[in-house]
Amino acid sequence: MNTLAQRCVTSGSAADNVLRERGQREVFCGLTGIVWLHRKIQDAFFLVVGSRTCAHLIQSAAGVMIFAEPRFATAIMEERDLAGLVDANDELDRIVAQLLARRPEIKLLFLVGSCPSEVIKLDLSRAALRLSQRFSPDVRVLNYSGSGIETTFTQGEDACLASLVPVLPQTASEAASSLLVVGALADVVEDQFRRHFSAMGLASVAFFPPRRAPELPAIGPNTRFLLAQPFLGDTARALEERGCRWIPAPFPLGGEGTTQWLAAAADEFGIERGRFDAVTRPLRERAERAIAPHRSRLAGKRIFFFPDSQLEIPLARFLAREVGMQLVEVGTPYLHRDHLAADLAMLPPGILLSEGQHVERQLDRCRAEKPDLVVCGLGLANPLEAEGIATKWSIELIFTPIQGYEQAGDLAELFARPLVRRTKLVA
């Protein structure tokens, strides 16, 4: 461990000392979010306004899925100069008109910006307004940026949801308080949470993003919201600007995280403790039983997180406290201290937290520490595997349902699997 890192090892609260790094990064851009968002909002379409590189990224990130009618596409805008801007706007309008004529089921169209200079010159918010007026009321057109200059991997979801907040309907001022769960969750997880809230006696619960555009939830000063994902800083700010109030909580990963996340909502809405315990205790016990076999494999193993998905801190908390793993370094691309405060407070002392990335230095630290398992992006996984280090792709943790009680065992298994595979390879 180098001297700078030594000075930044956590003591007391985990967030007191964080190693901040700025340098070369190895992360996907925010366009990646389209891969899970288009599955979530079933009548939305994502039109990337970008280059051939963007088209390739989306195709390869979504490559495992074969659709007769995919709900994303790329309008290629390269090889144009400034003089071609009018043309570019006309071209975009033409592509959108063609798309909507062919796909009348589309109710929500996102124009997703990217980094090529030809695209940066285009004013996509004006284009979205123009197209929204033209196709109103059948289709709403919004825009956000998934550019690699402005967003990493999961920030695309944040940018997408933040673009939706201003068009959410307003609740009536006399409406009773309601709960909004914010962040894309797999439908199966959403259904489980809905059942838990209902069993606790919390009836007025909505999820954002919704599964269909016409189901956009109404919000207002009587809305309290729980974040289901740790990378939604801009969305949370936009909701607060509309008067909604955030309920601080750890993220719902593992039995403990899920219980505390649900408990934060239960406390906020005055749910009686006995009722809360009666609903959650059997679920938590089942989660513990599901984790146990993986715990025996993983306890004491040393894990190193490269920054990628922003899920690193809640995952590290789960792995340290419920699975018994030792955290060597927990890197995150961006640390939202408020939203992660509860998870940070539960991390064991003495770990190295890093924010941002200087990939070469971090690789040096990783090699020096020789961890049993490394969580990282696809670009780093192959070289590390070739060096004999077991890896887990962080992108898998975004595409797999991992939140909630029912998924706690699967979540632990995701970390056990690469170690089991390596043992088999070595044997």
The least distance separating ligand SF4 from the CB of residue 294, rounded to whole angstroms, comes to 35
The least distance separating ligand SF4 from the CB of residue 155, rounded to whole angstroms, comes to 12
Residue ranges with strand state E in 19-114: 19-22, 44-50, 72-76, 108-113
The least distance separating ligand SF4 from the CB of residue 51, rounded to whole angstroms, comes to 6
Helix (H) / strand (E) containing 356: strand 352-357
Only segment of 50-58, 122-130, 283-291, 419-427 that touches ligand SF4 (CB under 6 A): 50-58
User: Which is nearer to ligand SF4, 60 or 423 (by Cβ)?
Assistant: 60
The single residue among 5, 49, 50, 75 that binds ligand SF4, judged by CB under 6 A, is: 50
Only segment of 108-116, 173-181, 315-323, 411-419 that touches ligand SF4 (CB under 6 A): 108-116
CB contact at 8 A, 376 and 315: no
The whole-angstrom separation of Cα 32 and Cα 152 is: 9
- In order of 171, 261, 266, 288, 321, the CA distances from 280 in angstroms are 30, 11, 11, 12, 19
The least distance separating ligand SF4 from the CB of residue 124, rounded to whole angstroms, comes to 13
The least distance separating ligand SF4 from the CB of residue 32, rounded to whole angstroms, comes to 8
The single residue among 10, 114, 171, 259 that binds ligand SF4, judged by CB under 6 A, is: 114
For the record, the structure tokens of 310 come out as 């922003």
User: Which is nearer to ligand SF4, 50 or 254 (by Cβ)?
Assistant: 50
122 binds ligand SF4 (CB under 6 A): no
Classify 327 as helix, strand or coil: strand
The single residue among 8, 115, 263, 265 that binds ligand SF4, judged by CB under 6 A, is: 115
The single residue among 41, 54, 168, 244 that binds ligand SF4, judged by CB under 6 A, is: 54
Only segment of 113-121, 207-215, 239-247, 267-275 that touches ligand SF4 (CB under 6 A): 113-121
Looking at residue 172, the DSSP 8-state letter turns out to be: P
The whole-angstrom separation of Cα 64 and Cα 93 is: 30
User: Which is nearer to ligand SF4, 112 or 228 (by Cβ)?
Assistant: 112
User: Which is nearer to ligand SF4, 77 or 253 (by Cβ)?
Assistant: 77
The single residue among 5, 14, 31, 283 that binds ligand SF4, judged by CB under 6 A, is: 31
Of 129-188, binders to ligand SF4 (CB under 6 A) are 146-148
Tokens 């943790």 correspond to 397
User: Which is nearer to ligand SF4, 55 or 335 (by Cβ)?
Assistant: 55
Tokens 């971090």 correspond to 362
Which are the contacts of 192, defined by CB distance < 8 A and separation ≥ 6? 404, 405, 406
27 binds ligand SF4 (CB under 6 A): no
For the record, the structure tokens of 402 come out as 């991992």
The single residue among 17, 42, 53, 204 that binds ligand SF4, judged by CB under 6 A, is: 53
Which are the contacts of 82, defined by CB distance < 8 A and separation ≥ 6? 121
User: Which is nearer to ligand SF4, 146 or 255 (by Cβ)?
Assistant: 146
User: Which is nearer to ligand SF4, 162 or 291 (by Cβ)?
Assistant: 162
Helix (H) / strand (E) containing 296: helix 273-298
Burial class (CB in 10 A: 0-12, 13-18, 19+), 365: buried
In the chain, DSSP finds a helix count (H) and a strand count (E) of 17, 14
Only segment of 114-122, 270-278, 316-324, 366-374 that touches ligand SF4 (CB under 6 A): 114-122
Only segment of 46-54, 96-104, 233-241, 383-391 that touches ligand SF4 (CB under 6 A): 46-54
CB contact at 8 A, 376 and 306: yes
The least distance separating ligand SF4 from the CB of residue 78, rounded to whole angstroms, comes to 10
The least distance separating ligand SF4 from the CB of residue 31, rounded to whole angstroms, comes to 5
Angle separating helix axes 312-321 and 408-426, nearest 10 degrees = 80
User: Which is nearer to ligand SF4, 45 or 153 (by Cβ)?
Assistant: 153
The whole-angstrom separation of Cα 386 and Cα 368 is: 16
Which are the contacts of 6, defined by CB distance < 8 A and separation ≥ 6? none
Angle separating helix axes 254-268 and 408-426, nearest 10 degrees = 160
57 binds ligand SF4 (CB under 6 A): yes
Which residue in the shown chain puts its C-beta closest to ligand SF4? Answer: 148
**Which residues here bind ligand SF4, judged by CB under 6 A?**
29, 31, 50-51, 53-54, 57, 114-116, 146-148
